[in-house]
Structure 1
Protein backbone atom coordinates (compact mmCIF):
# COMPACT_ATOMS: atom_id res chain seq x y z
CA UNK A 1 0.00 0.00 0.00
CA UNK A 2 1.49 3.39 0.98
CA UNK A 3 4.13 2.16 3.45
CA UNK A 4 7.05 2.05 1.02
CA UNK A 5 6.01 5.29 -0.67
CA UNK A 6 6.18 7.24 2.60
CA UNK A 7 9.14 5.28 4.02
CA UNK A 8 7.19 3.49 6.75
CA UNK A 9 8.10 0.20 8.38
CA UNK A 10 4.55 -0.49 9.58
CA UNK A 11 1.09 1.02 9.28
CA UNK A 12 0.78 3.87 11.82
CA UNK A 13 -2.98 4.31 11.93
CA UNK A 14 -4.51 0.90 12.39
CA UNK A 15 -7.77 0.54 14.31
CA UNK A 16 -6.68 -2.45 16.41
CA UNK A 17 -5.45 -1.21 19.83
CA UNK A 18 -1.69 -1.73 19.68
CA UNK A 19 0.38 -0.76 22.71
CA UNK A 20 3.42 -0.28 20.45
CA UNK A 21 1.64 2.86 19.20
CA UNK A 22 0.55 4.05 22.63
CA UNK A 23 1.05 7.82 22.88
CA UNK A 24 1.47 9.18 26.39
CA UNK A 25 -0.82 12.16 25.94
CA UNK A 26 -1.91 14.15 29.02
CA UNK A 27 -5.39 12.58 29.26
CA UNK A 28 -4.02 9.01 29.06
CA UNK A 29 -1.10 9.82 31.34
CA UNK A 30 -3.44 11.22 34.00
CA UNK A 31 -5.79 8.24 33.68
CA UNK A 32 -2.88 5.83 34.13
CA UNK A 33 -1.70 7.73 37.21
CA UNK A 34 -5.20 7.55 38.71
CA UNK A 35 -5.33 3.80 38.07
CA UNK A 36 -1.90 3.16 39.56
CA UNK A 37 -2.61 5.22 42.69
CA UNK A 38 -6.05 3.68 43.23
CA UNK A 39 -4.80 0.12 42.74
CA UNK A 40 -1.82 0.72 45.01
CA UNK A 41 -4.22 1.85 47.77
CA UNK A 42 -6.30 -1.32 47.41
CA UNK A 43 -9.54 0.41 46.43
CA UNK A 44 -12.43 -1.87 45.48
CA UNK A 45 -13.90 -0.09 42.43
CA UNK A 46 -12.19 2.21 39.93
CA UNK A 47 -13.90 3.61 36.84
CA UNK A 48 -12.56 5.07 33.59
CA UNK A 49 -15.06 6.41 31.07
CA UNK A 50 -14.75 8.08 27.71
CA UNK A 51 -16.47 8.51 24.38
CA UNK A 52 -16.21 5.80 21.75
CA UNK A 53 -12.71 5.84 20.25
CA UNK A 54 -10.93 7.82 22.98
CA UNK A 55 -8.54 4.96 23.81
CA UNK A 56 -10.09 3.05 26.73
CA UNK A 57 -9.19 -0.40 25.36
CA UNK A 58 -5.65 0.70 24.55
CA UNK A 59 -5.30 2.08 28.09
CA UNK A 60 -6.62 -1.21 29.49
CA UNK A 61 -4.08 -3.20 27.46
CA UNK A 62 -1.29 -0.85 28.53
CA UNK A 63 -2.24 -1.49 32.15
CA UNK A 64 -2.18 -5.24 31.50
CA UNK A 65 1.21 -4.94 29.85
CA UNK A 66 2.78 -2.94 32.67
CA UNK A 67 1.23 -4.86 35.58
CA UNK A 68 3.72 -5.61 38.39
CA UNK A 69 4.53 -9.22 39.21
CA UNK A 70 2.42 -9.30 42.38
CA UNK A 71 -0.80 -8.64 40.48
CA UNK A 72 -3.06 -11.55 39.61
CA UNK A 73 -4.94 -10.17 36.62
CA UNK A 74 -8.30 -11.16 35.19
CA UNK A 75 -9.42 -9.51 31.95
CA UNK A 76 -12.98 -9.54 30.58
CA UNK A 77 -13.23 -7.90 27.12
CA UNK A 78 -16.90 -8.87 26.66
CA UNK A 79 -18.89 -8.35 29.89
CA UNK A 80 -22.37 -9.11 28.51
CA UNK A 81 -22.61 -12.02 30.96
CA UNK A 82 -25.09 -13.34 33.48
CA UNK A 83 -24.01 -13.29 37.15
CA UNK A 84 -23.08 -17.00 36.98
CA UNK A 85 -21.18 -16.51 33.71
CA UNK A 86 -19.31 -13.60 35.26
CA UNK A 87 -18.26 -15.73 38.24
CA UNK A 88 -17.12 -18.54 35.96
CA UNK A 89 -15.20 -16.13 33.76
CA UNK A 90 -13.41 -14.74 36.83
CA UNK A 91 -12.79 -18.25 38.20
CA UNK A 92 -11.24 -19.41 34.93
CA UNK A 93 -9.03 -16.31 34.76
CA UNK A 94 -7.81 -17.09 38.28
CA UNK A 95 -6.88 -20.67 37.45
CA UNK A 96 -9.92 -22.67 38.50
CA UNK A 97 -11.31 -25.35 36.18
CA UNK A 98 -14.90 -25.34 34.98
CA UNK A 99 -17.16 -28.24 35.93
CA UNK A 100 -20.85 -28.90 35.27
CA UNK A 101 -21.12 -30.43 38.75
CA UNK A 102 -20.50 -27.10 40.47
CA UNK A 103 -23.57 -24.96 41.15
CA UNK A 104 -23.74 -21.23 41.93
CA UNK A 105 -23.23 -21.39 45.72
CA UNK A 106 -20.37 -23.89 45.35
CA UNK A 107 -18.73 -21.66 42.75
CA UNK A 108 -18.98 -18.67 45.10
CA UNK A 109 -17.23 -20.67 47.82
CA UNK A 110 -14.50 -21.82 45.43
CA UNK A 111 -13.94 -18.24 44.29
CA UNK A 112 -13.64 -17.02 47.87
CA UNK A 113 -11.12 -19.76 48.68
CA UNK A 114 -9.09 -18.94 45.57
CA UNK A 115 -9.08 -15.24 46.42
CA UNK A 116 -8.00 -16.03 49.99
CA UNK A 117 -5.23 -18.29 48.66
CA UNK A 118 -3.94 -15.61 46.32
CA UNK A 119 -4.05 -13.07 49.15
CA UNK A 120 -1.99 -15.42 51.35
CA UNK A 121 0.56 -15.52 48.51
CA UNK A 122 0.69 -11.70 48.58
CA UNK A 123 -1.09 -11.51 45.26
CA UNK A 124 -3.28 -8.54 44.44
CA UNK A 125 -6.27 -9.67 42.37
CA UNK A 126 -7.40 -7.10 39.81
CA UNK A 127 -10.35 -7.61 37.48
CA UNK A 128 -10.32 -5.40 34.37
CA UNK A 129 -13.65 -5.11 32.56
CA UNK A 130 -13.71 -3.47 29.14
CA UNK A 131 -16.96 -2.16 27.61
CA UNK A 132 -18.43 -2.15 31.11
CA UNK A 133 -21.53 -0.26 29.95
CA UNK A 134 -22.69 -3.64 28.53
CA UNK A 135 -22.85 -5.30 31.97
CA UNK A 136 -26.46 -6.39 32.71
CA UNK A 137 -28.05 -4.91 35.83
CA UNK A 138 -28.03 -8.16 37.83
CA UNK A 139 -24.40 -8.77 36.84
CA UNK A 140 -23.40 -5.33 38.11
CA UNK A 141 -25.01 -6.19 41.43
CA UNK A 142 -23.23 -9.57 41.53
CA UNK A 143 -19.97 -7.74 40.87
CA UNK A 144 -20.63 -5.42 43.81
CA UNK A 145 -21.24 -8.40 46.09
CA UNK A 146 -17.99 -10.02 44.97
CA UNK A 147 -16.07 -6.96 46.16
CA UNK A 148 -17.50 -7.49 49.65
CA UNK A 149 -14.90 -10.22 50.08
CA UNK A 150 -12.05 -8.82 52.13
CA UNK A 151 -9.55 -9.45 54.88
CA UNK A 152 -9.06 -7.10 57.83
CA UNK A 153 -6.38 -5.30 55.83
CA UNK A 154 -7.68 -5.09 52.25
CA UNK A 155 -10.11 -6.12 49.56
CA UNK A 156 -9.64 -9.57 48.05
CA UNK A 157 -10.78 -8.29 44.66
CA UNK A 158 -10.34 -4.94 42.94
CA UNK A 159 -12.37 -4.04 39.89
CA UNK A 160 -11.53 -1.55 37.15
CA UNK A 161 -14.43 -0.61 34.89
CA UNK A 162 -13.66 0.82 31.44
CA UNK A 163 -16.83 2.10 29.79
CA UNK A 164 -18.59 4.60 27.60
CA UNK A 165 -20.52 7.57 29.09
CA UNK A 166 -23.62 5.36 29.18
CA UNK A 167 -22.01 3.64 32.16
CA UNK A 168 -22.03 6.91 34.13
CA UNK A 169 -25.68 7.47 33.30
CA UNK A 170 -26.62 3.97 34.44
CA UNK A 171 -24.68 4.23 37.67
CA UNK A 172 -26.38 7.56 38.41
CA UNK A 173 -29.71 5.76 38.87
CA UNK A 174 -31.12 5.02 42.31
CA UNK A 175 -30.81 1.24 41.99
CA UNK A 176 -27.02 1.46 41.70
CA UNK A 177 -26.46 3.86 44.60
CA UNK A 178 -24.60 1.19 46.63
CA UNK A 179 -22.23 0.40 43.77
CA UNK A 180 -21.79 4.10 43.01
CA UNK A 181 -20.63 4.71 46.58
CA UNK A 182 -18.01 1.97 46.21
CA UNK A 183 -16.29 3.77 43.33
CA UNK A 184 -13.57 5.68 45.11
CA UNK A 185 -11.58 6.75 42.04
CA UNK A 186 -12.85 7.66 38.59
CA UNK A 187 -11.48 9.39 35.53
CA UNK A 188 -13.08 10.64 32.31
CA UNK A 189 -10.93 10.54 29.18
CA UNK A 190 -11.05 13.83 27.30
CA UNK A 191 -10.84 14.31 23.55
CA UNK A 192 -7.62 15.74 22.13
CA UNK A 193 -7.08 19.41 21.41
CA UNK A 194 -5.44 20.66 18.21
CA UNK A 195 -1.89 20.57 19.54
CA UNK A 196 -2.40 17.11 21.00
CA UNK A 197 -3.72 15.76 17.69
CA UNK A 198 -0.55 17.02 16.01
CA UNK A 199 1.63 15.37 18.68
CA UNK A 200 -0.42 12.18 18.41
CA UNK A 201 0.02 11.98 14.63
CA UNK A 202 3.74 12.70 14.78
CA UNK A 203 4.36 10.19 17.57
CA UNK A 204 2.63 7.39 15.67
CA UNK A 205 4.48 8.30 12.47
CA UNK A 206 7.79 8.12 14.33
CA UNK A 207 6.96 4.63 15.64
CA UNK A 208 6.20 3.66 12.03
CA UNK A 209 9.63 4.94 10.99
CA UNK A 210 8.87 8.44 9.67
CA UNK A 211 10.55 11.43 11.28
CA UNK A 212 9.24 14.23 9.04
CA UNK A 213 5.77 15.74 9.26
CA UNK A 214 3.67 14.27 6.44
CA UNK A 215 0.62 16.49 6.99
CA UNK A 216 0.52 20.13 5.91
CA UNK A 217 -0.80 22.71 8.45
CA UNK A 218 -4.33 22.95 7.04
CA UNK A 219 -4.50 19.18 6.77
CA UNK A 220 -3.60 18.95 10.46
CA UNK A 221 -6.31 21.45 11.32
CA UNK A 222 -8.90 19.51 9.31
CA UNK A 223 -7.87 16.21 10.94
CA UNK A 224 -8.43 17.73 14.37
CA UNK A 225 -11.63 19.55 13.46
CA UNK A 226 -13.45 16.71 11.74
CA UNK A 227 -12.24 13.97 14.07
CA UNK A 228 -13.51 16.06 17.01
CA UNK A 229 -10.27 15.10 18.76
CA UNK A 230 -11.25 11.41 18.95
CA UNK A 231 -8.13 9.26 18.36
CA UNK A 232 -9.97 6.50 16.47
CA UNK A 233 -11.41 9.02 14.01
CA UNK A 234 -8.00 10.66 13.68
CA UNK A 235 -6.62 7.24 12.71
CA UNK A 236 -9.37 6.60 10.15
CA UNK A 237 -9.02 10.00 8.47
CA UNK A 238 -5.20 9.96 8.50
CA UNK A 239 -5.15 6.45 6.99
CA UNK A 240 -7.55 7.38 4.18
CA UNK A 241 -5.71 10.65 3.50
CA UNK A 242 -2.40 8.77 3.21
CA UNK A 243 -3.99 6.33 0.77
CA UNK A 244 -5.24 9.23 -1.34
CA UNK A 245 -1.85 10.93 -1.21
CA UNK A 246 -0.14 7.72 -2.28
CA UNK A 247 -2.56 7.38 -5.19
CA UNK A 248 -1.53 10.83 -6.42
CA UNK A 249 2.17 10.28 -5.73
CA UNK A 250 2.33 13.11 -3.18
CA UNK A 251 5.18 13.55 -0.70
CA UNK A 252 2.94 15.35 1.83
CA UNK A 253 -0.75 15.26 2.61
CA UNK A 254 -2.76 18.41 2.04
CA UNK A 255 -6.20 19.73 2.83
CA UNK A 256 -7.74 18.17 -0.29
CA UNK A 257 -6.84 14.61 0.75
CA UNK A 258 -8.20 15.07 4.27
CA UNK A 259 -11.39 16.61 2.89
CA UNK A 260 -11.93 13.62 0.59
CA UNK A 261 -11.34 11.32 3.56
CA UNK A 262 -13.93 13.29 5.54
CA UNK A 263 -16.53 12.87 2.80
CA UNK A 264 -15.83 9.12 2.76
CA UNK A 265 -16.22 8.63 6.52
CA UNK A 266 -19.75 8.31 7.86
CA UNK A 267 -19.25 9.53 11.42
CA UNK A 268 -17.47 12.73 10.40
CA UNK A 269 -19.37 13.79 7.28
CA UNK A 270 -20.20 17.51 7.49
CA UNK A 271 -23.77 18.66 7.06
CA UNK A 272 -22.83 20.57 3.90
CA UNK A 273 -20.98 18.73 1.15
CA UNK A 274 -19.00 21.69 -0.10
CA UNK A 275 -15.78 23.12 1.28
CA UNK A 276 -16.04 26.64 2.70
CA UNK A 277 -12.90 27.98 1.07
CA UNK A 278 -13.30 31.38 2.68
CA UNK A 279 -13.34 29.68 6.09
CA UNK A 280 -10.23 27.77 5.12
CA UNK A 281 -8.43 31.01 4.33
CA UNK A 282 -9.48 32.42 7.69
CA UNK A 283 -8.19 29.29 9.39
CA UNK A 284 -4.88 29.68 7.57
CA UNK A 285 -4.59 33.25 8.82
CA UNK A 286 -5.56 32.15 12.35
CA UNK A 287 -2.98 29.34 12.28
CA UNK A 288 -0.08 31.70 11.58
CA UNK A 289 -1.19 34.69 13.62
CA UNK A 290 0.67 35.26 16.92
CA UNK A 291 -1.26 34.27 20.09
CA UNK A 292 -3.58 36.97 21.37
CA UNK A 293 -4.03 38.76 18.02
CA UNK A 294 -7.30 36.95 17.23
Structure 2
Protein backbone atom coordinates (compact mmCIF):
# COMPACT_ATOMS: atom_id res chain seq x y z
CA UNK A 1 0.00 0.00 0.00
CA UNK A 2 2.68 2.51 1.04
CA UNK A 3 5.67 0.64 -0.39
CA UNK A 4 6.20 2.78 -3.48
CA UNK A 5 5.75 5.97 -1.44
CA UNK A 6 8.76 5.07 0.72
CA UNK A 7 10.78 3.35 -2.01
CA UNK A 8 10.24 -0.16 -0.65
CA UNK A 9 10.09 -3.41 -2.58
CA UNK A 10 7.80 -5.10 -0.06
CA UNK A 11 6.00 -4.47 3.21
CA UNK A 12 8.64 -4.51 5.98
CA UNK A 13 6.43 -5.14 9.00
CA UNK A 14 4.32 -8.17 8.11
CA UNK A 15 3.47 -10.30 11.16
CA UNK A 16 4.23 -13.57 9.38
CA UNK A 17 7.63 -14.82 10.65
CA UNK A 18 10.28 -14.41 7.94
CA UNK A 19 13.82 -15.48 8.76
CA UNK A 20 15.24 -12.96 6.28
CA UNK A 21 14.15 -10.23 8.70
CA UNK A 22 15.76 -11.81 11.76
CA UNK A 23 17.87 -9.34 13.71
CA UNK A 24 20.58 -10.62 16.05
CA UNK A 25 19.55 -8.34 18.88
CA UNK A 26 21.43 -9.23 22.09
CA UNK A 27 18.76 -11.50 23.60
CA UNK A 28 17.75 -13.22 20.36
CA UNK A 29 21.31 -13.66 19.17
CA UNK A 30 22.31 -15.17 22.51
CA UNK A 31 19.34 -17.55 22.40
CA UNK A 32 20.27 -18.80 18.93
CA UNK A 33 23.91 -19.26 19.94
CA UNK A 34 22.88 -21.22 23.04
CA UNK A 35 20.64 -23.49 20.97
CA UNK A 36 23.33 -24.28 18.43
CA UNK A 37 26.02 -24.91 21.05
CA UNK A 38 23.75 -27.05 23.26
CA UNK A 39 22.60 -29.14 20.30
CA UNK A 40 26.18 -29.63 19.11
CA UNK A 41 26.97 -30.95 22.61
CA UNK A 42 24.08 -33.43 22.25
CA UNK A 43 22.18 -32.09 25.26
CA UNK A 44 18.78 -33.72 25.83
CA UNK A 45 16.26 -30.96 26.57
CA UNK A 46 16.59 -27.24 25.84
CA UNK A 47 13.88 -24.71 26.69
CA UNK A 48 13.33 -21.23 25.24
CA UNK A 49 10.56 -19.11 26.72
CA UNK A 50 9.30 -15.60 26.07
CA UNK A 51 6.19 -13.46 26.24
CA UNK A 52 3.71 -13.44 23.38
CA UNK A 53 5.18 -11.60 20.39
CA UNK A 54 8.84 -11.75 21.41
CA UNK A 55 9.85 -13.74 18.32
CA UNK A 56 9.88 -17.36 19.48
CA UNK A 57 8.36 -18.75 16.28
CA UNK A 58 10.80 -16.78 14.11
CA UNK A 59 13.70 -18.09 16.20
CA UNK A 60 12.25 -21.58 15.90
CA UNK A 61 12.17 -21.36 12.10
CA UNK A 62 15.67 -19.94 12.00
CA UNK A 63 16.90 -22.86 14.10
CA UNK A 64 15.24 -25.34 11.73
CA UNK A 65 16.98 -23.63 8.79
CA UNK A 66 20.34 -23.77 10.59
CA UNK A 67 19.89 -27.48 11.31
CA UNK A 68 18.73 -28.38 7.82
CA UNK A 69 22.08 -29.78 6.67
CA UNK A 70 23.36 -30.85 10.10
CA UNK A 71 20.56 -32.92 11.60
CA UNK A 72 17.26 -34.64 10.94
CA UNK A 73 14.51 -32.51 12.43
CA UNK A 74 10.94 -33.14 13.46
CA UNK A 75 8.77 -30.05 13.96
CA UNK A 76 5.51 -29.86 15.92
CA UNK A 77 3.92 -26.39 15.69
CA UNK A 78 0.79 -27.44 17.59
CA UNK A 79 1.60 -29.93 20.37
CA UNK A 80 -1.87 -30.05 21.96
CA UNK A 81 -1.92 -33.80 21.41
CA UNK A 82 -2.61 -36.97 23.34
CA UNK A 83 0.43 -39.15 24.15
CA UNK A 84 -0.44 -41.60 21.37
CA UNK A 85 -0.91 -38.73 18.89
CA UNK A 86 2.47 -37.31 19.94
CA UNK A 87 4.22 -40.59 19.17
CA UNK A 88 2.50 -40.81 15.79
CA UNK A 89 3.30 -37.19 14.91
CA UNK A 90 7.00 -37.58 15.72
CA UNK A 91 7.14 -40.88 13.83
CA UNK A 92 5.50 -39.34 10.75
CA UNK A 93 7.94 -36.42 10.85
CA UNK A 94 10.78 -38.94 10.71
CA UNK A 95 9.32 -40.84 7.79
CA UNK A 96 7.83 -43.81 9.65
CA UNK A 97 4.84 -45.40 7.90
CA UNK A 98 2.45 -45.02 10.84
CA UNK A 99 -0.48 -46.39 8.81
CA UNK A 100 1.24 -49.77 8.80
CA UNK A 101 1.39 -49.88 12.62
CA UNK A 102 -1.54 -51.60 14.35
CA UNK A 103 -1.06 -49.97 17.76
CA UNK A 104 1.04 -47.58 19.83
CA UNK A 105 3.54 -50.30 20.70
CA UNK A 106 4.28 -50.85 17.02
CA UNK A 107 4.55 -47.10 16.44
CA UNK A 108 7.16 -46.82 19.20
CA UNK A 109 9.02 -49.86 17.92
CA UNK A 110 9.16 -48.44 14.39
CA UNK A 111 10.16 -45.03 15.73
CA UNK A 112 12.96 -46.56 17.78
CA UNK A 113 14.22 -48.43 14.70
CA UNK A 114 14.19 -45.20 12.66
CA UNK A 115 16.15 -43.36 15.37
CA UNK A 116 18.74 -46.13 15.54
CA UNK A 117 19.13 -46.08 11.75
CA UNK A 118 19.73 -42.34 11.85
CA UNK A 119 22.23 -42.76 14.68
CA UNK A 120 24.11 -45.31 12.57
CA UNK A 121 24.28 -42.66 9.84
CA UNK A 122 25.68 -40.24 12.48
CA UNK A 123 22.67 -38.02 11.87
CA UNK A 124 21.49 -36.24 15.05
CA UNK A 125 17.71 -36.09 15.46
CA UNK A 126 16.18 -32.94 16.92
CA UNK A 127 12.52 -32.61 17.86
CA UNK A 128 11.45 -28.95 17.89
CA UNK A 129 8.16 -28.13 19.61
CA UNK A 130 6.59 -24.68 19.30
CA UNK A 131 3.88 -23.41 21.69
CA UNK A 132 4.96 -26.10 24.15
CA UNK A 133 2.87 -24.56 26.94
CA UNK A 134 -0.18 -26.05 25.18
CA UNK A 135 0.96 -29.63 25.81
CA UNK A 136 -1.25 -31.63 28.19
CA UNK A 137 0.55 -32.85 31.28
CA UNK A 138 0.33 -36.53 30.33
CA UNK A 139 1.76 -35.71 26.88
CA UNK A 140 4.74 -33.97 28.48
CA UNK A 141 5.39 -37.10 30.49
CA UNK A 142 5.10 -39.16 27.28
CA UNK A 143 7.69 -36.85 25.72
CA UNK A 144 10.08 -37.59 28.59
CA UNK A 145 9.59 -41.32 28.08
CA UNK A 146 10.22 -40.85 24.37
CA UNK A 147 13.68 -39.46 25.12
CA UNK A 148 14.51 -42.68 26.99
CA UNK A 149 15.13 -44.19 23.56
CA UNK A 150 18.90 -44.35 23.43
CA UNK A 151 21.83 -46.70 22.90
CA UNK A 152 24.61 -47.28 25.42
CA UNK A 153 26.65 -44.47 23.94
CA UNK A 154 24.28 -42.28 21.93
CA UNK A 155 21.32 -40.09 22.74
CA UNK A 156 18.84 -40.82 19.96
CA UNK A 157 16.62 -37.77 20.33
CA UNK A 158 17.17 -34.17 21.42
CA UNK A 159 14.23 -31.91 22.22
CA UNK A 160 13.89 -28.13 21.97
CA UNK A 161 10.84 -26.59 23.65
CA UNK A 162 9.64 -23.11 22.67
CA UNK A 163 6.89 -21.69 24.83
CA UNK A 164 5.29 -18.82 26.67
CA UNK A 165 6.09 -18.25 30.38
CA UNK A 166 3.17 -20.53 31.21
CA UNK A 167 5.45 -23.39 30.19
CA UNK A 168 7.72 -22.60 33.16
CA UNK A 169 4.70 -22.68 35.46
CA UNK A 170 3.55 -25.98 34.01
CA UNK A 171 6.95 -27.59 34.46
CA UNK A 172 7.08 -26.52 38.12
CA UNK A 173 4.53 -29.22 38.95
CA UNK A 174 5.92 -32.02 41.11
CA UNK A 175 4.51 -34.58 38.67
CA UNK A 176 6.82 -33.20 35.95
CA UNK A 177 9.98 -32.87 38.03
CA UNK A 178 11.71 -35.69 36.17
CA UNK A 179 11.43 -33.86 32.86
CA UNK A 180 12.30 -30.53 34.50
CA UNK A 181 15.55 -32.05 35.75
CA UNK A 182 16.46 -33.09 32.21
CA UNK A 183 16.34 -29.52 30.89
CA UNK A 184 20.03 -28.67 30.84
CA UNK A 185 19.78 -25.26 29.13
CA UNK A 186 17.10 -22.62 29.38
CA UNK A 187 16.89 -19.12 27.96
CA UNK A 188 14.27 -16.41 28.43
CA UNK A 189 13.83 -14.05 25.48
CA UNK A 190 13.78 -10.41 26.56
CA UNK A 191 12.02 -7.43 24.93
CA UNK A 192 14.07 -5.15 22.70
CA UNK A 193 15.80 -2.15 24.26
CA UNK A 194 15.33 1.32 22.77
CA UNK A 195 18.61 1.00 20.86
CA UNK A 196 17.57 -2.44 19.63
CA UNK A 197 14.17 -1.11 18.53
CA UNK A 198 15.93 1.54 16.43
CA UNK A 199 18.23 -1.11 14.95
CA UNK A 200 15.28 -3.44 14.39
CA UNK A 201 13.26 -0.83 12.46
CA UNK A 202 16.29 0.20 10.43
CA UNK A 203 17.08 -3.42 9.62
CA UNK A 204 13.58 -4.29 8.48
CA UNK A 205 13.08 -1.31 6.18
CA UNK A 206 16.54 -1.89 4.74
CA UNK A 207 15.70 -5.54 4.05
CA UNK A 208 12.54 -4.33 2.32
CA UNK A 209 14.59 -2.15 -0.02
CA UNK A 210 14.76 1.26 1.70
CA UNK A 211 18.04 3.15 1.22
CA UNK A 212 17.15 6.73 2.15
CA UNK A 213 17.76 8.85 5.28
CA UNK A 214 16.54 7.79 8.73
CA UNK A 215 12.87 6.98 8.35
CA UNK A 216 11.82 7.13 12.04
CA UNK A 217 12.59 10.26 14.06
CA UNK A 218 14.04 10.05 17.57
CA UNK A 219 10.67 11.03 19.01
CA UNK A 220 8.91 8.35 17.00
CA UNK A 221 11.40 5.75 18.23
CA UNK A 222 10.83 6.74 21.87
CA UNK A 223 7.07 6.42 21.51
CA UNK A 224 7.23 3.07 19.69
CA UNK A 225 9.61 1.67 22.32
CA UNK A 226 7.49 2.81 25.26
CA UNK A 227 4.15 1.82 23.79
CA UNK A 228 5.31 -1.58 22.59
CA UNK A 229 7.38 -2.44 25.64
CA UNK A 230 10.00 -3.66 23.17
CA UNK A 231 7.82 -6.58 22.04
CA UNK A 232 8.73 -7.16 18.35
CA UNK A 233 5.18 -8.00 17.27
CA UNK A 234 3.86 -4.75 18.74
CA UNK A 235 6.79 -2.84 17.26
CA UNK A 236 5.76 -4.23 13.86
CA UNK A 237 2.13 -3.24 14.33
CA UNK A 238 2.94 0.30 15.45
CA UNK A 239 5.57 0.83 12.75
CA UNK A 240 3.19 -0.39 10.06
CA UNK A 241 0.36 1.86 11.22
CA UNK A 242 2.71 4.82 11.61
CA UNK A 243 3.87 4.39 8.02
CA UNK A 244 0.24 4.20 6.90
CA UNK A 245 -0.45 7.47 8.73
CA UNK A 246 2.57 9.17 7.12
CA UNK A 247 1.61 7.86 3.68
CA UNK A 248 -1.94 9.13 4.11
CA UNK A 249 -0.60 12.61 4.87
CA UNK A 250 2.00 12.50 2.10
CA UNK A 251 4.90 12.65 4.58
CA UNK A 252 8.24 11.00 3.79
CA UNK A 253 9.40 10.39 7.37
CA UNK A 254 7.77 9.03 10.54
CA UNK A 255 7.35 11.47 13.42
CA UNK A 256 5.69 11.48 16.84
CA UNK A 257 2.34 12.48 15.40
CA UNK A 258 2.19 9.47 13.12
CA UNK A 259 3.08 7.13 15.98
CA UNK A 260 0.46 8.70 18.26
CA UNK A 261 -2.15 7.95 15.63
CA UNK A 262 -0.93 4.35 15.50
CA UNK A 263 -1.08 4.04 19.30
CA UNK A 264 -4.64 5.35 19.42
CA UNK A 265 -5.59 2.70 16.88
CA UNK A 266 -3.95 -0.21 18.73
CA UNK A 267 -5.65 -1.63 21.83
CA UNK A 268 -2.84 -4.04 22.72
CA UNK A 269 -0.08 -1.48 23.25
CA UNK A 270 1.45 -0.85 26.63
CA UNK A 271 -0.16 1.62 29.08
CA UNK A 272 -2.62 3.33 26.72
CA UNK A 273 -3.55 5.63 29.63
CA UNK A 274 -0.20 7.38 29.20
CA UNK A 275 -1.26 8.76 25.83
CA UNK A 276 -2.35 12.03 27.37
CA UNK A 277 1.14 12.51 28.86
CA UNK A 278 2.73 11.97 25.43
CA UNK A 279 0.60 14.57 23.67
Aligned to 2:265: 264
Name the CA shift for 1:274/1:158 in 2 (closer, same or farther; >3 Å).
Answer: closer
Partner-residue secondary structure (3-state), 1:276? helix
Post-superposition offset of 1:62: 0.5
1:79-136 per-residue CA deviation (whole Å, 9 max, x = no partner) reads 1111111111111110112316520111111111111111111110000000000011
Instruction: Say whether residues 1:82 and 2:82 are aligned partners.
Output: yes
What runs of 5+ residues in structure 1 fail to find an aligned partner?
Answer: 281-294
* Separation (CA, whole Å) in 2 of partners of 1:173 and 1:131: 18
Moved over 4 A (4+): none
* Separation (CA, whole Å) in 2 of partners of 1:90 and 1:204: 35
Post-superposition offset of 1:153: 2.0
Aligned to 1:62: 62
Partner-residue secondary structure (3-state), 2:161? strand
Aligned to 2:38: 38
Q: What is the TM-score of this pair, normalised by structure 1? A: 0.92
Instruction: Say whether residues 1:250 and 2:269 are aligned partners.
Output: no
* Separation (CA, whole Å) in 1 of partners of 2:43 and 2:253: 49
> How large is the Cα RMSD of the aligned pairs?
1.3
Aligned to 1:133: 133
Partner-residue secondary structure (3-state), 2:276? coil
Post-superposition offset of 1:154: 2.4
Aligned to 1:116: 116
Partner-residue secondary structure (3-state), 1:272? helix
Instruction: Say whether residues 1:167 and 2:167 are aligned partners.
Output: yes
Q: What is the TM-score of this pair, normalised by structure 2? A: 0.96
Partner-residue secondary structure (3-state), 1:128? strand
Partner-residue secondary structure (3-state), 2:85? helix
Post-superposition offset of 1:272: 2.8
1:141-169 per-residue CA deviation (whole Å, 9 max, x = no partner) reads 00000111112222100000000000001
Matches for 1:1-294 after TM superposition, within 5 Å: 1-67=1-67, 69-99=69-99, 101-211=101-211, 212-268=213-269, 270-272=271-273, 274-277=275-278
Moved more, 91-100 or 115-124: 91-100
C-alpha contact (below 8 Å) 2:226/2:270 kept by paired residues: no
1:210-263 per-residue CA deviation (whole Å, 9 max, x = no partner) reads 133211111110000000000000000000110111000001111111111111
Partner-residue secondary structure (3-state), 1:60? helix
